[in-house]
A and B are shown apart, each in its own frame.
Chain A
């Protein structure tokens, strides 16, 4: 039966990704001996890039609970599995705590003593409070992921699934607000405070727009992988679902480009020394190469391709595009984070590749472990079978 084929292939990929993950991280740890600062910088890049995927899963899962729709039921278990990796991913943050001194200038008392502005920011930017905030982010994310998973699985066996749908909805509404706040502040803390004197209120939005892109791209890849090997799943997750998902991909890629450009436009137009320096560093001496890549290959190409419905329903193209968009997620974080450490010229270290691959391998292992433990479809949700009829009732109720 194809069910066993799916499981055995998942097992194999899971093993491979664990081995790749561990080997890459061990090799990467070798960099700890030769270039300690580079190790932590690459680790931060890899960590933010990989964590972007499960964070996006959590956000889109809550959107699904709030709005329903067939697309959501199709990928709900994928999103739940992704979100459920967050508690373990929290442990992988620990090496960054060790490396704070190599990453964040505001941890250095001598730097703070020289800068009046940094002294002013000290009540917010100090190591104990920074760690407390990070712990709070992970508690909120893990708590949401845990409850959404638990209730959704309970619903599979429940006699009163409607009550659980309501409960999932009621958690997702405040959950969404908490999610937006925590991802924004996490972006400010982990990314923006690398340049502690620079600020942009759009920064957090750029991050969670990117999380959404990463989540939809991975959901498309996993849904296609399962649909090819499991007929029952494929019957449910048909071409219209993939059409919906590619619409999301188009929407989120556009949203990400829109907010990225907004930040640029505002800072470019005001042209103030305290903010423009961020872009001055990132648009010359080689750093303009990833910037230009992001405009054309990260935005224009996926945007143009996804305009046509024929392309949205072309699974092979969609798979290629999803992988491509994930690569661009890496380029985006690389361009946002890394110029801070090498402001006078483009610099790429092999650790920037090895450590993200390692962390991605570990994440994929955790993800598949979650995915295997659940039924592939949330069939007992009362909205599942009647996704369309449900919409009808709401239309009728409004009249």
Chain B
């Protein structure tokens, strides 16, 4: 179905607004139990258990971060080993050339740096950000998702999605508001 064939607008999904995180969490669980899978929830701060309630599977970021930490640590130790043992072997206060206690600080810092960089890069690579525009921005009240409101959006792409039935389902969840999220041609192309 495309916008050209129908008279009305195309929809990205249906969005419900909630007042507090417990409500959002409980209602998200209900939606999941009702069989909805293509959905997303929005909150101003991390809500414990929301990821599990949405059925989000674990992703690869932790392993990428671990890889970054190991590579960073090895690079840090390697650089110091190379400079102090191979390239410029100097006797400093009679200490061994490979003075691991002294090398630990930079090794640790480099591990943190590697983990941080690969964490950000890996996260961006896996989640498709930065994304300057998204259909949910068309809902005027959605800006409250970064203040004090909580939103659950069931996407049109969900096999179980039906404008009437899904709206009725969301109404049963007693939200503070239900909004139709319109799809537009430009985003449709990239989705």
Chain A residues with CB under 8 Å of chain B are 70, 240, 261, 264-265, 268-269, 271, 307-309, 388-389, 391-392, 395-396, 399
The count of residues in chain B whose C-beta lies closer than 8 Å to any C-beta of chain A is: 19
For B44, the chain A residues whose CB sits under 8 A away are 392, 395
B45 at interface, CB cutoff 8 A = yes
For B20, the chain A residues whose CB sits under 8 A away are 388-389, 392
Secondary structure class of chain B's binding surface, majority of residues? loop
8 Å CB contact of B45 from A265, A308, A395 = A395
Distance A261 CA – B104 CA, assembled complex (angstroms): 9
8 Å CB contact of B102 from A269, A388, A396 = A269
Mark interface residues in B1-45 (1 if CB within 8 Å of A CB, else 0): 000000000000000000011100000000000000000000011
8 Å CB contact of B48 from A240, A261, A268 = A240
State the Cβ distance, B151 to closest chain A Cβ, in Å. 14
Given A269-B101, A269-B102, check contact A388 B148 (CB 8 Å). no
For B105, the chain A residues whose CB sits under 8 A away are 265
Taking A388-B47, A392-B45 as known contacts, 16 extra A-B pairs with beta carbons closer than 8 A to each other, sorted by chain A number, are A240-B48, A264-B101, A265-B101, A269-B101, A269-B102, A307-B66, A308-B62, A309-B58, A309-B62, A389-B21, A389-B22, A392-B20, A392-B21, A392-B44, A395-B44, A399-B147
Distance A70 CA – B45 CA, assembled complex (angstroms): 15
Q: Is the CB of A396 within 8 A of B101?
A: no
Q: Is the CB of B148 within 8 A of A396?
A: yes
Q: Is the CB of A271 within 8 A of B101?
A: no
B128 at interface, CB cutoff 8 A = no
20 A-B pairs (CB sep. < 8 Å)? A240-B48, A264-B101, A265-B102, A268-B102, A307-B66, A309-B62, A388-B20, A388-B21, A388-B22, A388-B47, A389-B20, A389-B21, A389-B22, A391-B45, A392-B21, A392-B44, A392-B45, A395-B45, A395-B148, A396-B148
- From 95 to 150 in chain B, residues with beta carbon under 8 angstroms from any chain A beta carbon are 95, 101-102, 104-105, 147-148
State the Cβ distance, B185 to closest chain A Cβ, in Å. 35
Most chain B beta carbons < 10 A, residue from A268, A309, A388, A395: A388
Distance A261 CA – B103 CA, assembled complex (angstroms): 12
For A240, the chain B residues whose CB sits under 8 A away are 48-49
- From 30 to 74 in chain B, residues with beta carbon under 8 angstroms from any chain A beta carbon are 44-45, 47-49, 58, 62, 66
